[in-house]
A and B are shown apart, each in its own frame.
Chain A
Amino acid sequence: MLVVDLTSGRMRRVEIPPELLSAYLGGRGLGVRMLRGPHRLSPFDPAMPLIFATGPLCGTPAPTSARLSVVSRSPLTGTAYDCSAGGRFAFRLRAAGLFAIRIEGKSARPVALAVTSAGEEILPADALWGKTVGQAVRALSGRGSVAAIGPAGENGVLFSNIMMGEGNAVGRGGLGAVMGAKNLKAVVLDGDLPTPIADRERFDRARADVMRLFRASPVIFGELGISEYGTPALVDLMHQRRMAPTSNFRRTVFDGSGAYSGPAIRAAYGAEKEGCFGCPIRCKKRASDGRPLPEYETVSHFGALNDISDLHAIVRSNDACNDFGMDTISAAATLSAWGESRGRFPSPDEVVPLLADIAFRRGEGDLLAQGSRRMAEALGRPELSMSVKSLELPAYDPRGAYGMALAYCTSNRGGCHLRAYPVSHEILRKPIASDRFSFSGKARMIKIAEDVNAAVDSLVACKFAFFGASLEEYAELLAGVTGERHVPQGLKEIGERICLTERFYNAENGFIRADDDLPARFFREPGSEGDGIEVPPIDRARFGEELTKYYRIRGLSDDGSFPDPAFLDKQP
C-alpha cells in the first residue's frame, strides 16, 4: 500500500498485514477497516484519509473485477462512505505494484499524484485547478489512467464525484469534495506488473462457470439486457411496474419515459458498447462521438423526476455532471426538490446552466450544492428532500418495492439502491422473484444481501455480475487466485463484519434509529396506480415492524443501537 501525506509530501510503501486482508478481503472492507480511528473526524479534516483500495481479484481475468473502492467519510451524509468504480484505473493500480493508496493531509497548493511501478511523485497542478474533468484527464492521460475531480470537487459541492478518465464515477457521497479539500486534483497511474494466480486450473474453471451463468442471464446477455442497452434497459421496465419516480416522487409513472429508454438512446446516439477493463458485459454505452451515455438513474432523474422528456437535454445534463465532476442522481434530485419548492421544475434548457452554478457555487447554485436535505431545510420545506441520511434516493420508488424501501433506510451510506440491491429479486427476478408488495421476510433478505454485497465490494466485483453468477463462483475465483479455500458462507461473514463496522462508525457519529427512515411522502401519498397495479402508501407500522426485525437479525437493540459498546475492539 502506498501511504501519502500531502501535508509533508512524504510517501512510503508499506505492507498490509495479511490478517487484515483475510478479515476484510480488500476494497470496501479494507478501506472501512483503515477508517477506524479517523472515522470520527470531519470529512474535510486534513487527517481524514481518502483510500483507494482494489480487491484480490483485480488484475486477473476474473470477470468484472477490474474495480476498486474509494473510502472515506462523506461530507454529504456524514456516514462512513465507499463507492465502487470500474474503468481502467483499478487495473493500473495493481499493475503499479499496489493494492491500495491511502492519502492523508492537505497540500499547500494544488497537486496531482503520479504513480507507476517504478515509483511515485507529487506533481504541481496549479495549471489544472479550475479545469473540467475532461481537461484534466486530457492533460494527464499521457502518464496513464487518471482519476480526477472537476470544479465541483474543488469548490466543495457535497455531491461531487471523483471521475475516472474513462467516464466511470466514484459517485454519490461527495468524495470529490474530500479530495478537493486536500488540494488533490488528480491521481494518475501506470504500470505493467502482472497479478499472480496461484491455481490457474481452478481459476479457469471458475471463470468458465461465471461466463456460463452470464450467458444464461437475460438481464446480462439477453437480447433486451444491459449488455445490449446498458442500464437504460430498465426504463421501460420501471415504467411498466409503475415505480419510476416522477415529479420529485409525487407520481410513479412518467408518460414521456419512452424518449429516453434503452432503444430510444440507441436510435439517437448509436450506443456503442464500452466496458470496464476486461469486462465481458460491457454495459457502458458510448455515443458515436465518444461521449459516455447516461445510465438508467441519470436518464430517469434528469427525465421523469424533473418532468423532462427531451433526451438530448438529458444527455447534455449528463455531460455537464461528468465534466464538472458531480453525481447525477443527487444533482437531479436536488434540482427536483428545488423545483417542487418553487412550483416549477427546471426546463430542459435551464438544467445545464444550473449545474454550472452548482459546480462553481454561483447564485442559487451555492445552496443547491449542499444537496437536497440542507437546501430544503434552508428553504423551510424539509419534507421536499427525498433522501435518507441526506443521500438522495435513486430511481426506484420505494412504494413499488418494499424490500427497496427497507434497504434505503438500513443502508449505512444513506438512501442507496446498491447496498442490498433488492431490485434484483423484487423486479428482475434474480436469482429468484420475491413479492415486491410484501414485507414478509424482507428484513432477513436485506441483511443477507447487504452482507453479500459488502463482500462483493471488497473482492471487488461488479454487482451486475450477480444477475447471473453468485458468491459460489466468485469464492472459487478467489480460491484460484489465492490458492486458499474460500466458500460463500465465509465471505458473507466477512461482509457482515464490514456492515456492522460501518454501522458502528455511524452510531459513534450520532446516527440513531430515526435516521433509518424514509421521507414522510412515502407513508402518506400513493404512487400512480393503473394497468391493474395499485401503488398505495407504505404502511408505516408494518415498515417499523420490519425495521425492528432487521435490527434483531443484525444482533442490534430494537432502537438500532449496539448492545455491546466494545464491538469495535473485538474486530480484527
Chain B
Amino acid sequence: MRKMIEKYAVKLLRDRSAAPGRVGFAAQDDRMVEGGAPDLSRLAADVLSRLSCLGMVAAAPSLPFPELLVRRSPAGSSALVPLDTETRTFLHDIPFLRRGELGADPAGKIAALLSNRKGAIAEGIGIFGAGTVTLEQAYIHYSSVHHAAYVKYLMDVLQDGFLLPEEEEAFQAFREEHLTAPSAEGLHFRPGPLEEPGEILAEIAAIGRYTVERGLVDSCFGNISYRAGGTIYISQTAAALDELAGCVDPVPDDNRSTAGITASSELPAHRRIYEATGARAILHGHPKFAVAMSMLCGEEGCPVKDCWKDCPRVRMLGDTPVVAGEIGAGGLAASVRRVIGASGKAVVYGHGVFTVGREGFEEAFRAMAGVEAMCREEYFRRLDARRRAGPGQSKSE
C-alpha cells in the first residue's frame, strides 16, 4: 500500500494535476494506511473509514478551476454536469460541497457524496477520488474529475466570461505560466515500418509515455496501436499509457483468438481506421483544448439534443473533422472511419483526438500535438475576441 501511495503521489505531481505538497492518500487494508500531506491524508482516511472502498485520494488541484466552477454554480445547485465523454459515461455528474456546507463534520458530508459517486469536490479543500478496488482507481477518479472540470471551465469561460473578481487574473496565470506548448520536439521516434513484435511493443510503450508527458492525455485515458503482419498490437483496456509494458494485446485481424478481449474498448475504432487508411500506427488521446473546442458549436436552432451521439454533421476544427459517436460499440468507430482518411486525424465530440501514422508513430504524434496546438490557439483567439467585444457576447463562433 505504501508503495502505491508513493507511486501515485509522484504521478499526480508529474501530470501537474495536483498542487505540490497538497496531496493526501488513504488506503484500507485490515488497517488504515495514510500518506502525503497530513491534514489531507487524515481527512481522506476519515472519509474512507465511512465507505466500503479500498482507497482515497484527496488533493488540491494545481489549477483553481474546480473551485471556481463551484463558486460560479447557481445557488441551490449541488453538482457540476460537464458534457465531456468521461463524465457523461463514467462519472455522470460531479457533486460538490460549498465551503459553508462542510460544517463540523466535513468527512461525513464528503463521504455522503462519495456513497453515490466516484469523485467529488469540496470547496477550499480540493478533489476527492474514491477507489473501490484499488488505489489506482482512486487516482483515476481524481484524474477524471480534474479532466472534466478543466474542460468544463474552459468552455464556461468562453461562453459566459469571467463571473468572479479573481478569475481573470487566475486565468491569465494559467495561460502564461501553466500551459506548455504541445510539441514533439526532443522526442525520439523509431522510423517505420516496424515488423518485429518486440520493437513494436517497445515503441508503443515509449509513445504512450510521450503522450502523457506532453499533456496530450491523462495517464489512464486514451489508447494506442500498431498494425503489422495481420495483427493489431493495442493497449489494453484501463491501461495507463505511461505504463504500457506488459499491457499491450496482439489481436489478429481474423479473430482466430479472443485473447484480446482485454484490449482497449476502442479496438473497433482502430480496426475501422486501419481499414479506411491503410495506416500502421494510431494514437488516441484526450487533449483538453481539443475536447473543449469539439463541443463548441455555433449552429442555431439545431433540433439535435444529444449532440455527442446524434449529431450527423461533420464540423471542422481547422483542417480536422469533428464527428459524433459514443465510445466502444457506441458508434464512434463508424463515424471516425468516415472522415479520417482525408487528413489522417479526427476529433470525436467531447471525447478526444485520433491520429494516424502511415509508417510509424512520429506522424501520428506530431498530428495530435498539432491539433491540440491549433485548438488552443483558436480557443484563445475566440476568448480574446469575446473579451474585446465586452459583456453580452456569449455565443461562441
Contact = CB atoms under 8 A, between A and B. Distances in A.
Interface of A: 209, 212-213, 215-219, 221-225, 229, 233-237, 239-240, 261-263, 425, 427-434, 440-441, 443-445, 448-449, 451-452, 472, 475, 487-490, 492-493, 496, 548-549, 552-553
B385 interface: no
A221 B267 CA distance: 11
Contacts of B262: 218-219, 237, 427-429
A434 B134 contact: yes
Nearest to B132: A448
A271 to B, nearest CB: 12
Contact of B258 (A261, A432, A488): A261
Contacts, number: 155
A448 B53 contact: yes
Nearest to A552: B30
Contacts of A236: 257-259, 261
A557 to B, nearest CB: 13
B133 interface: yes
B130 to A, nearest CB: 10
30 contacts: A212-B326, A213-B89, A216-B328, A221-B328, A221-B329, A222-B265, A222-B268, A222-B328, A222-B329, A224-B251, A229-B258, A235-B258, A236-B257, A261-B258, A263-B258, A428-B262, A429-B238, A431-B133, A432-B137, A433-B236, A434-B133, A441-B1, A444-B28, A448-B53, A451-B52, A488-B115, A489-B52, A489-B115, A549-B29, A549-B30
Contacts of B353: none
Interface string B226-262: 0000000000111100000001000100011111111
Contact of A263 (B51, B53, B257, B267): B257
A429 B92 contact: no
B60 to A, nearest CB: 24
B264 interface: yes
Secondary structure call for the B interface:
loop
Given A217-B328, A218-B265, A221-B329, 19 more contacts: A219-B261, A224-B263, A236-B261, A427-B262, A433-B239, A441-B134, A441-B135, A443-B30, A444-B54, A448-B52, A451-B52, A452-B132, A489-B116, A490-B115, A496-B52, A548-B30, A549-B29, A553-B28, A553-B30
B51 A489 contact: yes
B22 interface: no
B327 A475 contact: no
A29 B271 CA distance: 44
B140 interface: yes
A226 to B, nearest CB: 8
Nearest to A473: B92
Nearest to B255: A263
Contacts of A549: 29-30
B89 A425 contact: no
A319 to B, nearest CB: 23
A429 B258 contact: no
Interface residues of B, number: 50
Contacts of A223: 255, 267-268, 271
A429 B136 CA distance: 12
A475 B116 contact: yes
A549 B328 CA distance: 38
A456 to B, nearest CB: 13
B367 to A, nearest CB: 25
Interface string B73-84: 000000000000
A225 B267 CA distance: 11
B118 interface: yes
A472 B328 contact: no
A224 B271 CA distance: 12
Interface in B353-373: none
B140 A432 contact: yes
Interface string B310-334: 0000000000000000111110000
B121 interface: no
Given A443-B29, A489-B51, A432 B267 contact: no
Contacts of B92: 209, 472
Given A448-B132, A472-B92, A472-B116, A224 B30 contact: no
Nearest to B306: A208
In the complex, which of the residues B118, B258, B330 has the most CB atoms of chain A within 10 Å of its own CB atom? B258
A507 to B, nearest CB: 20
B268 A216 contact: no
B120 interface: no
Contacts of B328: 215-218, 221-222
Given A224-B261, A445-B133, A215 B327 contact: yes
B30 A429 contact: no
Interface string B9-40: 00000000000000000011110000000000
B117 interface: yes
Nearest to B131: A432
B116 A237 contact: no
Nearest to B256: A263
In the complex, which of the residues B134, B263, B267 has the most CB atoms of chain A within 10 Å of its own CB atom? B134
Interface string B108-124: 00000001111000000
A360 to B, nearest CB: 37
Nearest to B27: A441
Contact of B238 (A215, A229, A261, A432): A432
